[in-house]
Structure 1
Amino acid sequence: MPDVRTLIADLSQRAGLDPGTDIDVSAVYGKLDGMIVTSFGTARASLEPLLVAFMLDVAEGDGKVRFTPRGGDPVATIGEDDLVPMDTATGSATLMLTRSQEADLPRRVEVAYVARSADWGSGTQSARRMVGNTVNAMTVNLPLAIGDQQARRLADALLYDAWVQREAVTFQTTARFAWVQPGDVVTVTAAGTTRTLRILKTDASGLLVRMEAVPDDPEVLTSESEGADIGRGNVFRVIPDTVLFLLDLPALRDEDDDSGIYVAASFLGADTGYRWRGAVLYLSSDDGASFQALADLRGPATWGTCQTVLGAGPAHVWDEAASLTVTLNHGQLESRGRAAVLNGANAALVGREIIQFRDAVLTAPDTYLLSGLLRGRRGSQHAIAGHGAGEAFLLLTSYDIVRVPLALSVLGRERQFKGITVGLAQDSQAGIPFTFRGTSMKPYAPCHVRGRRSGDDWLLSWVRRTRIGGGWSDGTDVPLAEEREQYDVEILDGGGVKRSFFGLTAPSATYSAAQQIADFGAPQTALAVRVYQVSARVGRGLPAEASL
């Protein structure tokens, strides 16, 4: 059984390259049963099937043609301070992202090959995405004799790879990274997000190096799919179940100002992650009688369990007193600087509160002590108090948190969802009941609720907050982020509502002496009030309560 390294060396030698001095195949591995080589094709054409089948990159460097398999470890870590704006004159963004349209990507990949299980006749294996708007199919013809399982895993990998690489990344860094070559894997941190990228092209000019790259995911190479045996029928194997996170949260990004939820997924079991290839999200609108595929969930998300109870803390300044110990079921955590955290890094969901953490110290295997906290992020300050033992922990800055649109008609209605591991039957898990509340569209609780007496009248006022575009620009107010400005106010008495003001169009209200006498029998020297901002789409947002 020939190995790939030997075949590449032989074909390169036929093209006039010296295997000892002109090429580097030291990192290449893998075997196959045979290969059809015609006398009419070029050496490059003969090499191409091997590059595809074994997912090899080819680049020239150090005077050699280097063949590198995918899935390598990062060779460099490029931090935010190492990046140079793409336009140094204007100080523009440090990363330029180009995203391919979904319609241009394949929904199905078919691999044609020479099948030893069919007496060296032709065989085909395919992989297909369960959801998506694209109808494209990609066919790969390989003049290689390989096993059915290898062909099926290749189809999986090629399909997965096409979607992983849909977002191309271009960036500039300093000359200290000029040694990085095409095919190398690097980690790049920008705007609080760390990406693992595979370099496609480098261009050094003066003291700057411009690099073009695509996302790199070593899981592309770890498919556990079993191919349909051309000669002996189908083979099945058990693969891990999916743990599903359905997250009806405030909008984590300004662009998520729509009707939808966030969904994350991971695998169950500490030692089965290498066989987990993602999941498909299913939705039932008829109480579980039928399910329709809704979204692909790549994952696995970084998640775990809180070992300590997070105490109450301040909502608008750094919480340097509280800390939290978490044990992860999957993933890793890292410390980040203050600036990176303020730019969005290290956001996590603890119970119903969104926090950010600056410091993550590994205290035991998979266990971290988190400190330097920002609390009640994205309008979740109502959840700062009341944490309990054993709450779930989910990192929110991962690529693996997926935004899933839901129609407004689903609002307030219970639906059933499933997260089914790729490769498992759709009926392998029961549905999870979930009621969509439209939290991402709910206005934040107003702040600075004030009241002052004018005679016996109470003059109430407050300051609105915004869900979207909250970065403060000098001299301007934050955007409204609603169709219209509207508020409801409730006058409270022992927890009950004594009087309500509806449809207020300005952040103020007057509670007259006559109204106080009608409600309480006399003008009041103290009041308890509750204020809501109101959305035209989902109604009242979160309340602000104050004792005046």
Structure 2
Amino acid sequence: MATLILTTVGTLIGGPIGGGIGALIGRSIDGEIFGAGSREGPRLEELAVSTSTYGQAVGRHYGRMRSAGTVIWATDFKEQSETSGGKGKPKVTTYSYSVSFAVALASRPIEGLGRIWADGNLLRGAAGDLKSNGILRIYEGHGDQPVDPLLSAALGAQCPANRGMAYAVFEDLELADFGNRIPALTFEIFAGEASELASDLAIQTGATATPDAIPQGLEGFSHTNGTLLQVFDLLSEFHQLAPQQQILPLNIAPAGTSQAEPIMLPSAIAASESEFGERDGTQLTKRGTPRRATSVRYYDIDRDYQAGVQSSNGRASNVGERAVDFPAALSAANAQRLAQRVSLRRSAKAERMMWRIAELDPELGPGRLVRLPDTSGIWQIDAWEWRDTGIELELSRFQYPQAAQGGSDSGAVWTPPDRAAATTVLRAFELPWDGTGSSDTPQIYAAVSAGPGRWAGANLSLSQNGVLSEIAFAPAVKAVVGQTISDLPPSSALMLEGDAELLVELLDPEMLLTSTDVAGLAAGANRLLIGDEIVQFLNAEEQSAGQWRLSGLLRGRGGTEEIAQLNQSAGTAITLLNGRVFDVPLTSFDPQTDQLAALGVGDEHPVLANFEGAGSTRKPLTPVHPRSSFDAQGAWHLCWTRRARGAWNWPDEVEAPLVEQAENYQIGIGPVSSPLIEWHSVEPLVSLDAAQMADISASYSGLDIWVRQTGSHARSDALRLAIVP
């Protein structure tokens, strides 16, 4: 059931940044056009946490910014359980949770999203890849955007398309990476060019603005709360603006840009009234306060939009500084340049002049630059009033923008790594029975892994004729896999080969191999599946990143001694058989035609793997210890020792368990697949009398005689008993 109250999606930085169109020079723009508002205006809100609070404003973003957004719809948590273990191992049930929700991002169209942060780490990288399982759909807020299918299914006919509002929909976002809770999210929003800010705000009132009406170096801005008056008033703090009232509609531009030269005012006229200026029609006032440094708080683009502070004198201090909140995306150098500009402008505007003239000049008006007779400098008209005694002008000292002195940078900062999603590597294989669970059930395993980079696990499925049937989810624990980079020569697999060495290369340099001792080998440590052979190693020495030298090899483990007698060339796949190998719960499949499939976040298509070592779980082990002898009557007696699947300890003076339903052996001469002559026995021996021996010797002298155990499901490899005399 959908619930509309969800207050757990938050922000690390950013959020509402304010304003609307504001007065560029105080009273110079009619309040009827722009509306009134307090001087507090837009502010940085780095600690703001977005919620689904009713009535919360959705910002208008320009350029590139980082914002939390507002949750507008969400589902209840979806719980999934996964049981692992069995086959003699304890069963463990783990639970995972996912949730679907929608977040409003902007109340004007955007161009798209960049990175997304979750609890300060990247949930979505710059390449657009999600770091956790789930589906992300982005709606840019255009007038023709469709209804989201998930919201439509949940809300029905009342579901809005939210046209004019950009929003994002997360479908089944897995929460395992966030402690099974919804993380605090913030979004990198791309909304055109920051230069669109002034013209877009101005057009809401029927005015226009020139592209240079914003401070140089501004890369992003957001308008969420406050009035239009406050936004333009704030912009004018950094980049003095003036209305061009001689042009209709009203146009807003940097002060002085429309004038070739400042206008020379006529001499002031005297009047008996003293409410404006002195009796001679002029009055100069200075605040007289010492110039103080100005600091600017902003969003630093080089620090992932975290809040930064730059001072006009290059030394940040809380003592005696006048701080200005400028909720915009800037570099540190540009922020310091703006701080210096504000400091100079505030110092200049502390000097004000009252000036009365006799006639109204159409060229004079708020925002125009003028010179005064017998007075140095350039002045700007802040306001004027037409009275019966003349035209009364309020002026302030004007300074053209100056280049910033010195420089600044953002300093050292930690940013979360944006590791691209690694593609899944899959190996599926069957292993000899380990003695746990049923001896009749194939033990299928999957080595699910990935190379360098971020990997969030993968869904496993059985592929039958191209149709996928989901089996389980392999968690984000990379199996230790790779390949040999030297040949593995044949071995008798009879004893520990202390001088034997093998060079291997692991798929991810962060994967590790460790050394052990003889007791560790006896306990089953360091088992490495090389092709179809299981090898144990004593020593592991890293030669370079990802490359290792293994020495002290114990070959042909787990009944794979026949494979150990073959040469395995460089490039053979290897897998460390430890707890990172995934136990695949398969009951009915055809290992000859079916495949295992894996699909992770970084995989465009399912990764397929054939089943290796098919039948090895239920294949009997090859008998050992062949013995032959002749008695006094010329009879030939052949015997051997039985081995059993899963009975790896093989204690002294205890016969190996049978495991199979019955004890049965095939004895033959000639090719194992098509013997020239064969016998069967229900015990580990066979006897041939003198007459039989005479016939056998006459026909098969010099050929091998061998034995295979016949099990419940398959036959073992053959053991060579002797050569026919």
- TM superposition score category, shorter chain reference: 0.5 to 0.7
Report the Cα offset of residue 347 of structure 1: 0.8
Alpha-carbon distance between aligned partners in 2 of 1:494 and 1:470, rounded to the nearest angstrom = 26
Asked whether the 8 Å contact 2:445–2:582 carries over to 1, the reply is yes
Distance in 2 of aligned mates of 1:318 and 1:394: 20
Displacement after TM superposition at 1:350 (Å): 1.6
Alignment of 1:363-402 (within 5 A): 363-402=543-582
Deviation, structure 1 residue 292: 0.6
Question: Contact 2:486/2:570 (CA < 8 Å) preserved in 1?
Answer: yes
Is 1:247 paired with 2:429?
yes
The residue number in structure 1 matching 2:598 is 419
Aligned length: 355
CA drift of 1:510 comes to: 2.2
Matched, 1:505 2:677: no
One-letter amino acid of the counterpart of residue 105, structure 2: S
Alpha-carbon offset, residue 515 of structure 1: 4.1
Tell whether the 8 Å contact from 1:352 to 1:380 is kept in structure 2 after alignment.
yes
| Secondary structure at the counterpart of residue 686 of structure 2 | strand
Of the three residues 423, 437, 460, the one matched with 2:614 is: 437
Counterpart residue number, 1:117 = 105
Question: Which letter does structure 2 place at the counterpart of 1:448?
Answer: H
Matched residues in 2 for 1:152 and 1:493: separation?
59
CA contact (8 A) 2:527 2:578 kept: no
CA contact 1:336–1:359 (8 Å) conserved in 2: yes
Counterpart residue number, 1:339: 519
Aligned to 1:320: 498
- Tell me the equivalent position of 2:469: 292
Q: CA deviation at 1:438?
A: 1.6
Instruction: Name whichever of 148-157 and 483-492 sits farther off.
Output: 148-157
Report Cα offsets for 1:387-432 as digits up to 9, x if no partner.
Answer: 232233434333221222444x64564213322224656xx14744
CA 1:400/1:495 → structure 2, altered by over 3 Å: closer, same or farther?
closer
Instruction: Determine which of 517, 529, 532 is the counterpart of 2:705.
Output: 529
Deviation at 1:376, TM superposition (A): 0.9
Give the TM-score normalised by structure 2.
0.43
Which residue, 640, 648, 662 being the options, matches 1:470? 648
- Residue identity opposite 1:106 in structure 2: Y
- Specify every segment of 5 or more residues in structure 1 that has no aligned partner in the other structure, as ranges: 5-30, 39-96, 120-124, 129-146, 162-220, 225-237
Aligned partner (choices 459, 469, 491) of residue 280 of structure 1: 459
Q: Which amino acid aligns with 1:482?
A: E
- Tell me the residue number matched to 2:443: 260
Question: Equivalent residues in 2 for 1:212-251 (5 A)?
Answer: 239-251=421-433
Match of residue 447 from structure 1: 624
Q: Secondary structure at the match of 1:157?
A: helix
CA positional deviation for 1:371: 0.6
Query: Which of structures 1 and 2 has the bigger CA Rg?
Result: 2
Q: State how far apart, in whole Å, the 2-side matches of 1:341 and 1:291 are.
A: 39
Q: Distance in 2 between matches of 1:352 and 1:98?
A: 24
- 2:105 alignment partner, SS class: helix
Cα separation, partners in 2 of 1:110 and 1:342, compared to 1, 3 Å = same
Secondary structure at the counterpart of residue 398 of structure 1: coil
Aligned to 1:187: none
Write the distance in 1 (CA, Å) between the matches of 2:637 and 2:557. 30
1:279 and 1:256 map into 2 onto residues whose CA distance is 28
For 2:663, the equivalent position in structure 1 comes to 485
8 Å CA contact 1:489–1:532 kept in 2: the answer is yes
Q: Does 1:539 align with 2:714?
A: yes
CA RMSD of aligned residues (A): 4.0
Residue 500 of structure 1 aligns to a residue whose secondary structure is: strand
Q: Distance in 2 between matches of 1:152 and 1:523?
A: 70
Please, what TM-score do these two structures have when normalized by structure 1? 0.56
Asked if residue 34 in structure 1 is aligned to residue 217 in structure 2, the reply is no
Q: Deviations over 1:335-394 (max 9, x none)?
A: 122222221111101222111111111122211111111111111111112223223343
CA distance in 1, matches of 2:418, 2:438: 32
Are the aligned partners of 2:635 and 2:687 in contact in 1 as well (CA < 8 Å)?
A: yes
The separation in 2 between residues aligned to 1:98 and 1:543, in whole angstroms, is: 32
Distance 1:338 1:383 in 2: 23
Distance (whole Å) between structure 1 residues aligned to residue 445 and residue 551 of structure 2: 26
SS at match of 1:497: coil
Gaps of at least 5 residues in structure 2 are: 1-9, 14-45, 54-87, 108-122, 124-131, 135-166, 182-415
- Contact 2:98–2:174 (Cα < 8 Å) also in 1: no
Distance, in Å, in 1 between the alignment partners of 2:576 and 2:433 is: 12
TM alignment of 1:403-414, pairs within 5 A? 403-407=583-587, 410=589, 413-414=592-593
Deviation at 1:497, TM superposition (A): 1.9
Percent of residue pairs identical: 25
- Contact 1:348–1:393 (8 Å) recurs in 2: no
Deviation at 1:160, TM superposition (A): 8.1
Q: CA deviation at 1:509?
A: 1.3
Give the whole-Å Cα distance in 2 for the aligned partners of 1:356 and 1:160: 39
Matched position secondary structure for 1:340: helix
Structure 1 position 356 matched with structure 2 position 536:
yes
